[in-house]
A and B are shown apart, each in its own frame.
Chain A
């Protein structure tokens, strides 16, 4: 079975540019999560969806960050405009109810 698929694996861009991270969850999973991992703050939950509906976005750091899930097989996390402090590894994870989360391989984002 295919796992959670994230793209791109690496992204390097200049400050001020728009960045879009993509995620394809495991088929049949009804929850999708976006996490950010940094040395300073560790792993933080940014937002999660249930059946494509955003449930809790309290971890989204600023209005520059937005996330969408237009259908059950696709989600995006967008940063506009990007700043150097947004540099991190961003993980997407999916799960079924009451089951452990399965993580993608992450996107390493570098903002110059």
Chain B
């Protein structure tokens, strides 16, 4: 079974700073997807970024980028020029390569951006 571990329960940075959230996972599969989801206080689950394991190039979405280290089973999220609206819980998730992409989530990191 797959497991996902987020070792930072909480983080806090100043607005405009860069912050990196850590995630490690365990799997015996060679091909899979990795995700970061954001959950603001409104409770929505919002997809931030997706990485396909067979792609060596790290995914980026505007201010959000990942550092994917397949051998180390590490998948960190970097938020550049952080904004107050980035304040949220961030969940790392593992998804199977099958059509359903069943998700296994980490416990989450609560990120606070201070003005």
Contacts and interface: CB of A to CB of B under 8 A. Distances in A.
A109 interface: no
Contact of B105 (A31, A42, A102): A42
Contact of A48 (B100, B104, B107): B100
B6 to A, nearest CB: 10
Dominant secondary structure of chain A at its interface with chain B: strand
Nearest to A105: B44
A73 interface: no
Nearest to A91: B45
Contacts of B106: 42
B7 interface: no
A102 to B, nearest CB: 8
7 contacts: A42-B106, A42-B108, A45-B103, A56-B102, A95-B101, A100-B47, A102-B47
Interface of B: 35, 37, 42-47, 50, 91, 99-108
